[in-house]
């Protein structure tokens, strides 16, 4: 993509790929792994499309060598993956399962051997079920069990891993998992998302403290999925509505993380009771090295006084992905500008950006996913635009390399640059794989 300017071509701009344990590993019974809340959630009738589960994922627990070879073929500078807590501590808080470290050692050491930086997320939604049985994120103890688990990982892998992520998209865990119930543990409640949100942020703060003490040279951050819808019109009331709509996915997290306090007006309006104890907010506000931003799409909202929330989505003209998400590359520039206008973010990495498409155009050998290529191309240009505006974006990770388990959508929604041909599990590269390889190479 000759349009890329020097700053994205510079050797210190990081090109990567992201994934998560429950979505790609499979082998959910191997080597002493304990059950996670997603294993049990998948068994609930109607919760996951076609009754799919992560028992197979992308079979990466078995085929990790092939996957690292493909990352090397891409020329990726980094690979962001998550460690499954239930592999390391099967019941979340008790005995360590040392066999659970093996896969991650093999993966990390092979990545390093191929000059690919491992970026390790400690939590990507797969809470040990045994902790859920004791209240999960509604129980403050879980934050401390998370810190113990994080300490274990820092001690085990700290000599090899320099970049750590505490939590991936805590908003999904809190609101999709405890508010509307479409994610594990499947709770439907008004107050629970706020209790979970505080304990997730406390867990984050405790893990950052452990990291600073054990790995002073490492870098640590958190990955958020901000939603900053644009105003449907230039009218002030719609602009206000867009600001109001943004808080749940930005201020509710960034105010504590960067300012050590929750957004008062929003919490009051939501009737949120946050179980804050003395010292919590100082822990949560621990300085970060970077903020990971997962960006997929942008919506538009207008003022809607009759609605409880005070705003509503409006119809839009943009082309949509298989997830019915609007394709709005400039939305990526807007969300980064919004974040930097409101909080002192040291550095950004776009830790997820990608799209699900039907991937039906194939000649039997290669899948011609031109719509995904166009999506990626346009969003990389948006990253370039953000850099030109002086926003400190230091890297871009595609979501994702392998088609995998897309949570409540099961395997039906495919985000990968590589398809998996069943039943043998053969990896079939799509055109976007070759596009991203060329992009990283600087063409």
| Positions in the binding site for ligand GCO (CB under 6 A) | 20, 23, 168-169, 172, 225, 294, 352, 399, 406, 415
Of 318, 329, 389, 320, give the one whose Cα is nearest residue 353.
329
SS3 of residue 160 by DSSP: coil
Compute the C-alpha angle 225/219/69, nearest 5°: 80
Alpha-carbon distance of 211 to 307, in angstroms, equals 44
Closer CB to ligand GCO, residue 172 or residue 257?
Answer: 172
Cα distance between the two ends of the chain = 5
Choose between 8 and 172: whose C-beta lies nearer to ligand GCO. 172
Supply the minimum distance, in Å, between the C-beta of residue 224 and ligand GCO.
Answer: 10
Q: What sign does the CA torsion over 388, 391, 396, 398 have?
A: negative
Phi, psi of 430 (to 5 degrees): -95, 165
Closest CB 294 distance from ligand GCO, rounded Å:
4
Structure tokens at 187: 């709770």
3-state secondary structure 108-154: HHHHHHCCCEEEEEEECCCCEHHHHCCCHHHCCHHHHHHHHHHHHHH
For the bound state, the minimum distance from the C-beta of residue 171 to ligand GCO, rounded and expressed in Å, comes to: 10
Give 157 or 415: the residue with its C-beta nearer to ligand GCO. Answer: 415
Cβ at position 300, least distance to ligand GCO in Å: 20
Write down the least CB distance from residue 262 to ligand GCO, Å. Answer: 23
CB 20 within 8 A of CB 61: no
| Options 169, 210, 248, 406, the catalytic residue | 169
**Pick 36 or 225: Cβ nearer ligand GCO:** 225
The yes-or-no answer on residue 169 being catalytic is yes
Q: Which is nearer to ligand GCO, 56 or 399 (CB)?
A: 399
Dist. CA 15–CA 257, nearest whole Å: 26
* Nearer residue to ligand GCO within complex by CB, 57 or 77: 57
Tell the smallest beta-carbon distance from residue 306 to ligand GCO (Å). Answer: 30
Per annotation, catalytic residue among 110, 156, 352, 406: 352
90 and 30 Cβ atoms separated by less than 8 Å: no
User: 298, 230 in Cβ contact below 8 A?
Assistant: yes
Question: Tokens 């004791």 map to which residue?
Answer: 134
Q: What is the rounded distance in angstroms from the CA atom of residue 225 to the CA atom of residue 240?
A: 21
Q: How far is the CB of 20 from ligand GCO (least distance, A)?
A: 5
Is 35 a catalytic site residue?
Answer: no
Residue 154's φ and ψ, nearest 5 degrees, are -60, -45
**Which residue is nearest to ligand GCO, using beta carbons?**
294
Nearer to ligand GCO, 20 or 166 (CB): 20
Cβ neighbours around 392 below 10 Å, total = 15
Cβ at position 324, least distance to ligand GCO in Å: 12
Taking the C-alpha atoms of residue 78 and residue 424, their distance in angstroms, rounded to an integer, is 28
Q: How many CA atoms lie within 13 A of 169 on its CB side?
A: 21
* Nearest to ligand GCO of 225, 246 (CB atom): 225
Would you name the residues annotated as active-site residues? 169, 352
């Amino acid at each position: 993509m000759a349009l890329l300017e020097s700053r994205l071509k510079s050797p210190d701009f990081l090109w990567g790929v992201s994934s998560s344990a429950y979505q790609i590993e499979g082998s959910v019974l191997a080597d002493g792994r304990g059950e996670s809340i997603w294993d049990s959630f998948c068994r609930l009738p109607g919760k996951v499309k076609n009754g799919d589960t992560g028992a197979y994922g992308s079979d990466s627990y078995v085929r990790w060598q092939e996957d690292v070879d493909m990352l090397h073929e891409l020329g990726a500078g980094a690979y962001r993956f998550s460690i499954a807590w239930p592999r390391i501590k099967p019941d979340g808080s008790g005995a360590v399962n040392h066999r659970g470290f093996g896969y991650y050692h093999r993966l990390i050491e092979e990545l390093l051997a191929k000059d690919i930086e491992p970026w390790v997320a400690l939590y990507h939604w797969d809470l040990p079920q045994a902790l859920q049985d004791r209240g999960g994120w509604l129980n403050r103890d879980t934050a401390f069990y998370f810190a113990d688990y994080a300490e274990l990982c820092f001690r085990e892998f700290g000599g090899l891993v320099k970049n750590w992520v505490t939590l991936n998209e805590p908003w999904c865990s809190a609101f999709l998992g405890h508010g509307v119930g479409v994610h594990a543990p499947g709770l439907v409640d008004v107050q629970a998302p706020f209790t979970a949100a505080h304990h997730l942020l406390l867990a984050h703060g405790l893990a950052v403290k452990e990291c600073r003490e054990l790995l002073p040279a490492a870098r640590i951050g958190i990955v958020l999925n901000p939603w900053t819808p644009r105003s449907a019109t230039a009218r002030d009331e719609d602009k206000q509505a867009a600001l109001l709509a943004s808080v749940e996915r930005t201020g509710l997290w960034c105010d504590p993380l960067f300012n050590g306090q929750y957004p008062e007006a929003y919490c009051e309006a939501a009737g949120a009771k946050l179980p804050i104890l003395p010292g919590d907010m100082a822990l949560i506000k621990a300085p970060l090295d970077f903020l990971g931003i997962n960006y997929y799409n942008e919506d538009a909202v207008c003022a809607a006084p009759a609605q409880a929330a005070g705003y509503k989505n409006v119809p839009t003209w943009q082309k949509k992905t298989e997830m019915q998400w609007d394709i709005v590359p400039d939305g990526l520039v807007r969300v980064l500008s919004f974040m930097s206008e409101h909080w002192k973010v040291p550095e950004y990495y776009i830790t997820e950006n990608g799209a699900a498409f039907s991937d039906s155009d194939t000649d039997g050998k290669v899948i011609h996913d031109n719509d995904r290529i166009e999506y990626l191309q346009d969003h990389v240009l948006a990253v370039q635009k953000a850099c030109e505006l002086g926003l400190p974006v230091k890297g871009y990770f595609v979501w994702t390399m392998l088609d995998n388990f897309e949570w409540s959508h099961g395997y039906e929604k495919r985000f990968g640059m590589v398809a998996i041909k069943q039943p043998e599990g053969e990896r079939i590269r799509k055109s976007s794989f070759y596009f991203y390889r060329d992009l990283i190479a600087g063409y």
